[in-house]
């Protein structure tokens, strides 16, 4: 059997944890399995490297940021291989260049295009545990790229798909996927299983337990995932196409503080204005999330939308650049102290009361709603960031998600 095992930052944060992971992998190896291990950078090393970059240059070139960040994952894999060596088991560490993990050139947010598997297969054939850097890739000019924060999950799923692995296990610092982030929602409950679609929505809406692109890829290639703890042996959560239980009304609540609200006020009220605005942003690879347009008044209208907070300053700069040309407006406002809170569930499709109930929960705790966006299986609201935990707990409780 071929197993891909991914361990996140907290799971390899220090010497003891590195040995803990080494032993878990060796256990699998000794059963006769082929073992591919994907690692994140130790603890908060990626954050530390980013802070170091900002100290030198507040606006560092994106290529060089990725060059720097690859060091994090490279440190973990080398140390892991040393740990395995000291336990008497043959292994080899490989980075994205040595494997050849091909990506686009979108530094900081690159997409995997293909993985060469020959080297990995040869090393497995030689009965080594193969330890691979998560999160990083190379583009067609051999520049290092990274896949976006949390991207090691995507490396693991992509490897599982490319190697046609029998199992893909994502080890982390919680026991599995919960109905809400257990760090902030005290009644959060662990789910035994969840569908790709629900997990994809939760991940995209801020449930950082899995990188959303890893779920997208798992669905596309039919890779069944298990999310479980690296610190104990409890069962974890299976992420797959269909779940055996009856569909739950709500599978979970997620929040995302990495959100900024941008209002473009007093735009001309004529065809093509929205097109131009979002076209400029798309040209710079900026993803826009919730969009609200006011009804036109006195020949003008306002367009308000959210972007990832990391992209907020760049977004405002782009809009300012076009203000004297194609995007005439009175004012551009930026608010970074907002958060999104979402409820997700496939059962929502046939139950019209969900949005109202969510709003009731917020009313009960006195939280004001700034924007609302809905799809067939989710409701998202935008609120002041300071109320996130209060709102999360209230929404989680009103749907009784803590109970089986």
Number of residues this chain uses to bind Mg ion (CB under 5 A): 2
For residues 11 and 380, which CB has a smaller minimum distance to ligand ADP in the complex? Answer: 11
Give the residue, chosen from 2, 5, 7, 9, that forms a contact with ligand ASP under the rule CB under 6 A: 9
Among residue numbers 307 through 366, which ones bind Mg ion (CB under 5 A)?
none
Q: Is 150 in the site for Mg ion (CB under 5 A)?
A: yes
Q: Could you write out the DSSP letters of every residue in 207-223?
A: -TTS-HHHHHHHHHHT-
Site string for ligand ADP, 207-236 (x = CB under 6 A): xxx---------------------------
Give the residue, chosen from 2, 3, 4, 8, that forms a contact with ligand ADP under the rule CB under 6 A: 8
- Shortest Å, Cβ 87 to ligand ASP: 24
Site string for ligand ADP, 322-361 (x = CB under 6 A): ----------------------------------------
Q: Is 194 in the site for ligand ADP (CB under 6 A)?
A: no
- Shortest Å, Cβ 168 to Mg ion: 14
Among residue numbers 113 through 152, which ones bind ligand ASP (CB under 6 A)?
134-135, 149-152
Alpha-carbon distance 179 to 251, whole Å? 6
For residues 262 and 391, which CB has a smaller minimum distance to ligand ADP in the complex? Answer: 391
Give phi and psi for 111, each to the nearest 5: -110, 140
Alpha-carbon distance 133 to 38, whole Å? 6
- Helix 212-221 vs helix 196-204: crossing angle, to nearest 10: 160
Among residue numbers 183 through 202, which ones bind Mg ion (CB under 5 A)?
none
Q: Which residue is nearest to Mg ion (CB)?
A: 150
Q: Looking at beta carbons, which pairs linking 218-224 to residues 24 or more positions away fall under 8 Å?
A: 218/157, 218/161, 218/168, 220/161, 221/157, 221/160, 221/161, 223/157, 223/160, 223/161, 223/165, 223/168, 224/167, 224/168
Q: Is 252 in the site for ligand ADP (CB under 6 A)?
A: yes
Give the residue, chosen from 2, 26, 34, 40, that forms a contact with ligand ADP under the rule CB under 6 A: 40
Alpha-carbon distance 173 to 252, whole Å? 19
Partner from ligand ASP, ligand ADP, Mg ion, none contacting 72, C-beta within 5 to 8 A by type: ligand ASP
- Shortest Å, Cβ 150 to Mg ion: 4
Residue partners of 129: CB distance under 8 A and separation at least 6: 25, 26, 29, 35, 36, 37, 84, 89, 90, 91, 92
Among residue numbers 132 through 161, which ones bind ligand ADP (CB under 6 A)?
150
Q: CA torsion, points 138, 139, 141, 145, in degrees to nearest 10?
A: -60
Query: Of 207, 189, 190, 188, whose CA–CA distance to 198 is shortest?
Result: 207
Q: Which residue is nearest to ligand ADP (CB)?
A: 8
How far CA 189 is from CA of 183, 243, 330, 391, 400, in Å, comes to 12, 17, 48, 17, 10
Q: Is the CA virtual torsion 153, 156, 161, 165 positive or negative? A: negative
Residues engaged in binding ligand ASP (CB under 6 A)? 8-9, 40-41, 46, 72, 134-135, 149-152
Residues engaged in binding Mg ion (CB under 5 A)? 8, 150
């Amino acid at each position: 059997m071929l197993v891909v095992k991914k361990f996140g930052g907290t799971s390899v944060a220090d010497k003891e944890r590195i040995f803990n992971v080494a032993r878990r992998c060796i256990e699998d190896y000794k059963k006769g399995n082929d073992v591919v291990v994907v690692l994140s950078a130790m603890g908060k090393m990626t954050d530390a490297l980013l802070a170091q970059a900002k100290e030198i240059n507040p606006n560092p070139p994106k290529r060089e940021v990725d060059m720097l960040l690859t060091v994090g994952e490279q440190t973990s894999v080398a140390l892991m291989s040393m740990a395995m060596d000291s336990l008497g088991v043959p292994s080899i560490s490989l980075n994205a260049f040595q494997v050849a993990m091909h990506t686009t050139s979108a530094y900081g947010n690159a997409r995997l295009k293909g993985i060469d598997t020959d080297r990995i297969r040869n090393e497995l054939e030689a009965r080594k545990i193969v330890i691979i850097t998560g999160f990083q890739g190379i583009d067609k000019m051999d520049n290092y790229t990274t896949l976006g924060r949390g991207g090691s999950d995507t490396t693991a799923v992509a490897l599982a798909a490319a190697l046609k692995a029998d199992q893909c296990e994502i080890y982390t610092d919680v026991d599995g996927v919960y109905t809400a982030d257990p760090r902030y929602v005290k009644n959060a409950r662990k789910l035994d299983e969840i569908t790709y679609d629900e997990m994809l929505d939760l991940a995209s809406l801020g449930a950082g337990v899995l990188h959303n692109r890893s779920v997208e890829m798992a669905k596309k290639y039919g890779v069944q995932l298990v999310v479980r703890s690296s610190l104990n042996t409890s069962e974890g959560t299976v992420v797959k196409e269909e779940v055996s239980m009856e569909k739950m009304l709500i599978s979970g609540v997620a929040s995302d503080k990495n959100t900024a609200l941008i209002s473009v006020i007093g735009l001309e009220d004529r065809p093509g204005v929205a097109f131009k605005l979002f076209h400029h942003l798309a040209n710079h690879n900026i993803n826009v999330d919730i969009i609200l347009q006011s009804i036109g008044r006195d020949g003008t209208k306002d367009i308000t939308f959210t972007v990832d907070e990391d992209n907020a300053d760049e977004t405002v700069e782009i809009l300012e650049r076009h203000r004297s040309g194609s995007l005439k407006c009175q004012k551009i406002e930026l608010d970074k102290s907002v958060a999104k809170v979402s409820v997700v569930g496939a059962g929502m499709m046939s139950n019209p009361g969900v949005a109202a109930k969510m709003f009731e929960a917020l009313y009960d705790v006195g939280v004001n709603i700034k924007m609302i966006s809905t799809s067939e299986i989710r409701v998202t609201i935008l609120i002041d960031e300071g109320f996130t935990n209060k709102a999360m707990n209230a929404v989680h409780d009103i749907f009784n998600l803590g109970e089986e």
